[in-house]
Structure 1
């Protein structure tokens, strides 16, 4: 199914839209055993193992969300718009914008979803018709490390924006007409005063809105999407995301104007190998089954095999 690519708006921020798919089955609340499968309120975000098609469990540990990846496996970021309006999602992997390849910032390009739309974002955007697949790999082989940006490897970020509502134009000012030159002169003065007051009350144009957005973004720092799993001597190499093989993925173009310059919601999901997450206590490991203590003297159950009572050996 062809997606639509969104181009610049009055605020000069470009965006991409995602294709519509079948509605996602609800997964809330999560089961205690498997953890979360989707997080987010404005949009539901999950990570999909493309080899199995299953959403990876998302574990919460010390205020962070985590998924366990397998080296060499391809994955997708699944996002579903839970709102009844268009929402723009700016996405980053390892601190890199997945559309433009820039070091990620919230006021960059992203995907736009209509109300209820869902899509699997499967890779780095290369053109209107191709992506390079997301693939779990070693940190040294990650796209971020290979482009000189290894500090934020191991994190997926989604910053969400609502769309600015259209402002209706002010109603026209209708003044009664009067006869006579003096009346006409007074009416002209009244009309000039009314026109100037309407111009002052009119909403700011795109350029003024852009200046306002720029000043707002400069006054408040964007949410940080960085971080790494703190632990001594991990049992296995940590993971990053590779610039995988090329795949076909079509997009088109449209426009989107953000309601504000700061995100309405930010989702952050960190990832690493299962071995490292178990060692760090992120993934709980069930205790081994309890063993009965062997009593002194003869044992009532010394470990005979299951079955029926065999015949005794023949007497000599």
Structure 2
């Protein structure tokens, strides 16, 4: 059986709000600043989702399977498939997550053992622009597919008359642990993510890349091709239940200043000096 993989899309919402929670129904998606270790708050504005990126900082995309069956998700960054490097489409390679499995996508996949770090950078230094595809810089997408065998089993179960007691038992949430992978496992099985703690040596080695990444902090933000690091996966088969994704999550990103200029974030409060803020003159 030929291995199968996937791609990207959008999500809904109204008004403007800041939410620290992940985005996604089947797979929760979070963007984490690896230099601060902080999850980037999600800003919801007119039905779209945004996060604020810091030029020169590395980031990762965290995927959390919320279901008790395996799911396949294609990760697209700046309109480029994060595994193959091709212009993103739904039919391309993705990451397969077992039930309730978590995986951190650290960067552009170079092999089954390594990735090149995702790095917030200016447009000119983005991987998409450097490979001649600058039109979709500033967006992260995850397209989610269910597995065919799981859908067939669900349909067969619904067709069978079931005693009410058994129905209640089957509807109880499964334990939130990764399930053992049977013989027909999904395509690029996610392995445990590396620690987010980075050594001072590694930070010093990629300092030139970080300096270049922040060279044009006033322009649009993109994702660069950073230093290589270990991130182990293996290739397996996954047969999709449908050619179209069951869910597509889209998260846009840019600098805070540009999001404020676009009206997506409110301006920072302006400090007004006070003539009499205290009572007595303290020592300097």
TM-score, shorter chain, exceeding 0.5? yes
What corresponds to 1:270 in structure 2?
Answer: 252
**Residue 40 (structure 1) aligned with residue 24 (structure 2):** yes
Secondary structure at the counterpart of residue 71 of structure 1: coil
- Does residue 165 (structure 1) correspond to residue 138 (structure 2)? The answer is no
Taking structure 2 as the reference length, the TM-score comes to 0.68
Structure 1 residue ranges without an equivalent (≥5): 1-8, 16-31, 169-234, 293-301, 309-316
Q: Does 1:245 align with 2:227?
A: yes
Aligned length: 209
Contact 1:67 1:271 in 2 (8 A): yes
Q: Give yes or no for contact 1:78–1:118 (8 Å, CA) kept in 2.
A: yes
Bigger CA radius of gyration = 1
| Deviation of 1:36 (Å) | 3.9
Aligned-partner SS, 1:158: strand
How far does the alpha carbon of each residue in 1:263-310 deviate from its partner, in whole angstroms, 9 at most, with x for none?
000000111111111121112236547899xxxxxxxxx7273249xx
Distance 2:22 2:126 in 1: 25
- 2:272 and 2:130 map into 1 onto residues whose CA distance is 48
**1:306 aligned residue:** 279
Per the alignment, in what secondary structure is the counterpart of residue 225 of structure 2? strand
Closer, same or farther in 2 for the Cα pair 1:14/1:304, shift >3 Å?
closer
Matching residue within 33, 57, 60 for 2:41: 57
Partner residue of 1:110?
Answer: 94
- Check the 8 A contact 1:161/1:260 in 2, yes or no: yes
Unaligned runs of 5+ in 2: 7-15, 154-216
Distance of 2:100 and 2:24 partners within structure 1 = 14
- Distance in structure 2 (CA, Å) of the matches to 1:236 and 1:55: 23
**Aligned partners of 2:5 and 2:72 also within 8 Å:** no
SS at match of 2:132: coil
Residue 279 (1) aligns with residue 261 (2): yes
**1:258 lines up with 2:249 in the alignment:** no
- The equivalent residue for 1:90 is 74
**Is the Cα contact below 8 Å between 1:37 and 1:56 reproduced in 2?**
no
Structure 1 residue runs of 4+, over 2 Å off? Answer: 32-37, 284-292, 302-308
Deviates more, 1:52-61 or 1:94-103: 52-61
Which of 123, 131, 137 is equivalent to 2:107?
123
| Separation in structure 2 between the aligned mates of residue 85 and residue 243 of structure 1, nearest angstrom | 33
User: Structure 2: how far apart are the matches of 1:131 and 1:290?
Assistant: 47
SS in 2 for 1:75: strand
Distance 1:287 1:127 in 2: 46
SS at match of 1:133: strand
TM-score, normalised relative to structure 1? 0.61
CA contact (8 A) 1:44 1:82 kept: yes
Would you say the 8 A contact 1:161–1:258 is kept in 2?
Answer: yes
Q: Which residue of 1 aligns with 2:122?
A: 138
CA contact (8 A) 2:17 2:43 kept: no
Tell whether 2:135 aligns with 1:151. Answer: yes
What CA distance in whole angstroms lies between the structure 1 residues aligned with 2:25 and 2:115? 28
* Cα distance in 1, alignment partners of residues 86 and 21 from structure 2: 29
Per the alignment, residue 54 of structure 2 pairs with 70
Q: Distance in 2 between matches of 1:304 and 1:75?
A: 41
